[in-house]
Homo-oligomer: A and B are copies of this chain.
C-alpha cells in the first residue's frame, strides 16, 4: 500500500517503477503536476489529461507510471502525510505539559496551513474511497496513541487528573484541533487568530494541566 512505500522505487503504484534516470524524472513531473492540479480542481474535477498537460507529458505516459488516477492521488497524499507527521518526530520533551501541548498544536497548525489545499482534497476523497479512509485511519491512530501515551505519563507524574481516559481524550482533542483547522483553513469559516489561542487554552484546561 502507498502508505508503506512513499519513496520512489517502492511498488506503490502497481506499475513498474522507473529504471532509467529519464523515467524517474517523468514520474516526478507527473507527481508534482498531479498535486498542483488536485489542489486547483479537487479530485473529482481533475482529469488525467489535466495532469499530463500540466506535466508536459504525453497522455499515455501517465499509465506508464500509475495504474489509475486513484494511484497518483494515494502517492501524493502519502508524501503529504509524511510532511504532516514530521513534527511528531521532534523531541516532545520540554519545560511543561502545557508548553508541549501548545507547541504541538502550533506545529500542527503550521503543517496544516502549509498543506491546506491538499487537506481539502484528502477530506473529499476520504468520503468515498474506502482504501483511502483506511490510510487516514492509520495515520490518525498513530498520532492519537502517541498523545495518549503522553497523557498517561502526565497522569503517572501527577500532572494530569487520573479520571481522564487518555485514549478518548486524545481522540477528542485531536478531533477538535483537526476539525477547527479544517473549518477555518479549508471551508473558509471566518478566520480569527484568537482561534489558535483558544484551542491551546481549551486543550490545556480540558486535560487539567497547569497552564
Q: Which residues of A contact B (CB under 8 A)?
A: 42, 44-45, 120, 123-124, 126-128, 133, 137, 140, 163-165, 167-169, 171-173, 175-176, 178-180, 182-183, 187, 189, 192, 194-195, 197-199, 201-203, 205-208
Contacts and interface: CB of A to CB of B under 8 A. Distances in A.
Nearest to A120: B127
13 contacts: A42-B127, A45-B128, A127-B127, A165-B197, A169-B202, A172-B198, A173-B176, A173-B202, A175-B182, A175-B183, A176-B176, A203-B206, A205-B206
A180 B172 contact: yes
Contacts of A180: 171-172, 175-176
Given A42-B128, A127-B123, A128-B124, A175 B173 contact: no
Given A124-B128, A175-B175, A206-B206, A168 B187 contact: no
A175 B168 contact: no
A176 B182 CA distance: 12
